[in-house]
A and B are shown apart, each in its own frame.
Chain A
């Protein structure tokens, strides 16, 4: 699950699997920075899954209230 952050070793394994599946040949001198970016991304994605209600349904975005001053 993206909502849980694995430990460093598990993240490193996950990163290597991801890079392999994506066909990435990351240069050795760039790997530490890219792995750090991968960890940051995992932390960010964990914050995305939040509780939501039916009010989050995107239909009807351009309602009269969002387009006019008719409040």
Chain B
């Protein structure tokens, strides 16, 4: 996989920086990802449809076909499912936080699990089979924290071979915003990725 070859070295170098600051690295398999994915999808679909419904009704062609296909049907999601997706967030958060943050203080992961794709590579309506998976790959590492409401931030940790930025996502237990910011600050004291600009912008 391209990410493993081109972006993983930067991620591992970032882990080494954190280790140099005294972090103990513990690989984890995150729990409850299927449930989180399902309920997060319900919440984002309902809220996206609500936000865009009026404009999409009047100007459907202002949206890509796959966005029409995602948001129009989302108006059919029963309120009970939306409420359930929100109410399940509490118990899932509790179980997730207990298991993960019972073992570690902070969780670090690539912000995006693929190398940053081009617009053409994410053209779901016109691309080859599998294009939708590429598009979904952009947000799959950040959505769980969005749904769970955990503090998380992304900081620059390098550039891929195309000169595009790579992000390191740091997240923490509920109300651990301070610890997340502290870790990011420590990382940025030992690196200067946040001060560099992609070559295409610097030119």
Contact = CB atoms under 8 A, between A and B. Distances in A.
Is chain B's interface secondary structure helix, strand, loop, or mixed overall? helix
A37 B113 CA distance: 25
Contact of A58 (B70, B78, B89, B175): B89
Interface string A10-21: 000001001100
A45 B77 contact: yes
How many chain A residues sit at the interface, stated as a range, is 35 or more
B75 interface: yes
Interface stretch (B12-20, B24-32, B90-98, B193-201): B90-98
Contacts, number: 106
Contact of B101 (A27, A36, A63, A66): A66
Interface in B73-94: 73-78, 81, 84-85, 87-91, 93-94
Contacts of A26: 60, 68, 72
B65 to A, nearest CB: 5
A52 B164 CA distance: 45
Interface size class of B (residues with CB under 8 A): 35 or more
Given A34-B73, A48-B38, A69-B105, 10 more contacts: A2-B81, A24-B75, A27-B60, A33-B66, A38-B76, A58-B87, A61-B94, A67-B173, A67-B174, A71-B98
Interface of B: 38-39, 41-42, 45, 57, 60-61, 65-66, 68-70, 72-78, 81, 84-85, 87-91, 93-94, 97-98, 101-102, 105, 125, 173-175
